[in-house]
Structure 1
Amino acid sequence: MSPRAALGGTLLACVAASLLAGIAGGLLRVGIALPIAVDAPWLTRAALSHAALMMCGFMGTVISIERAVAFKHPAAWIAPLASGAGGVAVLADASGLAALFFVLAAGAFVIVNGLLLRRQPAAHTALLLASAVAWFTGNVLLAVGANSSTVLPWWFAFLVVTIAAERLEMTRLMRRRPGAQLMLHLVLVALAWGAAMSALAPRIGGVLFGAALCGLAAWLLTFDIARRTVRAEGLSRYMAVCLLSGYVWLAIGGLAWGATALGLPARDSALHALGLGFIISMIMGHAPVILPAVARVKLQFGNFFYLPLAVLHLSLAVRLGLGASSFQLRAQGALFNALAIVLFAATAVGAALAWRQRHGPRRISDERP
């Protein structure tokens, strides 16, 4: 096996372990009985470290892989390898080692993004560096024993700012109103300030963080190119539907985050409107574009891609809407949240096989003139 294949296999195994364990742990947290021993030590650890597995072991590794491919230097792979190892360490009951791995991953990630900014000075690369710093801050706080209310805003800031930066890059050629980019930067500064204040003044910080999320949702709904491409056909329309629906969940998450800070019982809505409604929608929308660029896997697009997206949004509506007054409906909604993620993974695999069957085992690079 070549070193490249070994690296890819190792990272795939780490990503899959964190994702599957994170899903299983999340289901256990809402009382879903799984067809495995509920007293399995790894499952208990997955439930306790659900956020770390999903946001660092899974998302942190995937985003680091994407950035390492763009950076094109062997040292850039330190970040995804460390974050992937951190997820495995969580499941192996080595929480201290996992925290150190996550700090190493984010530190390496900051350096990679700093060098990318130096190579390509632009607004979106500056935001990518800011998102890396947010991840590093959250991971350092985790390592020193800070509580989840202090760590989670930084982790969400990492993911939210990363997405905002990527949307800014993809729409950089659009004509915008004067001051639109300044508005975006002010919103993201408020987001970072809210994350920082969450440790010192939780109520003020939480309200500011939630308001910034709502402001970002309004900015994206106003200025993102998805407003135009939703009237197109095929993949362009699908991506736009994923994006626009995700922005709505971003606004809902912001409102729920602020409500939670004010003492209302909206924590589940705040965390999962963001983590599932917004972030997973972004993954579903960008996967048909990112997978060919990062993993050299081309997908045969079809309307079947809408099925997991519909399951995700309907199950979230049940979980966060009807489930607010019924624990059983909340649990059922969470179960179908997990099904939506698994269904999307199966859809992507099927689409890759369909493309290969139609076009043969040619590499994507072979198609270029």
Structure 2
Amino acid sequence: MSQARNHDGDPRSTRLFGHRVAAAGPLLPVLITLVIGLVFLLGGAGTVWLPLLAAGPALAASTDGPRGVLGVGLLAAGLGVALGARDGASGAELAAVPAALLAVTSASALAGALRSRRERVLADVRSVAEAAQHALLKPVPPTVGPFEAAVRYSAAAAEARIGGDLYALVPTPYGVRLIVGDVRGKGLPAVGTAALVLGVFREAAYDEPDLLAVVDRIERSLARNLGADDFVTAVIAGCPRPGVLEVVNCGHAPPLLVRASKEIEAVEPAPPAPPLGLRALTDQTPGLQELTFADGDQLLLYTDGVIEARDRDRAFYPLVEGLTRHLSDEPSRTLGAIHDELLAHVGGRLHDDAALLLIRKPVPCAPPAPQLPTAEAVLGDRVG
């Protein structure tokens, strides 16, 4: 799936860096303990400063497990006794130094055990989040029906894999249908609403021949389940037959239609309609727009987190200009460049969920030109 999580950079590079740090981490407390011992050995600082050896096991609590902490602590205690004896420390001092170091070691070992337990719990939570991500935001293959497709998604919450933005792209008996939406609010309630919308959409997209009927089913479901102040902005689109694109906009940012000539136009809703979940408060109903969608055309759907992303000068990200700069015939490459530029625009961290979905109708390959017979072949036929 062409998705960027959070945000992000290359996840493989991040994992590789993390593995290298984890591999070097257990060695650091040992090196620090040996360096402190070497300084005492060469400098003759005296036994007063020997408790500084406790820095080794204290640091080991953040990089290693209880066994590693105990090992570093025993090393520090042994060095402390040896250095104290070399400097002629009394018996009471020789006993006090290892006792203090072993006390620090015991506390550090306990802290290391608790840290390891929290890391295991966090790993379990992350695995559940990954499973929820794949169940809610299913992977989008590079080709869906007759279209090429790509997705980039970033959740603003730290360590999050999913948020309040949603997308789906599904082939149905009535053509390929897609949705991009933005749930009001953040956190788990927004994720629950996104799951509700996507579940109804995927079911209705297969059942309803009319795209407006799909929207109506989502609206009815939200009216039963959402609070009075909750709503979802969304664009639902479909391609019922070759060369035709249907769009229903429910209070969402207008999609960008890119013609094969590279001309970009915003598909403004006509007429404007309220977000999903608020239809009961107004007499407006969404309308169905029908557009041509020829070979080479592309459609970009996105959420507010993209166009409302600000830089240090509080300037919004110019999506149309970014799309113009990075437009190509490969949707994944186009969205990858836009997503990287978006992260650079905000300084590396988005403050709102952001989703981008791009589909393209590929240009059919021209049939190979018939090969004309060469002069030698013609002459050979005549001689024969």
TM-score, scaled to structure 2: 0.31
Flag the structure with larger Rg.
Answer: 2
Q: Which has the higher contact order (CA 8 A, sep 6+)?
A: 2
Higher strand content, 1 or 2: 2
TM-score, scaled to structure 1: 0.32
Higher helix content, 1 or 2: 1
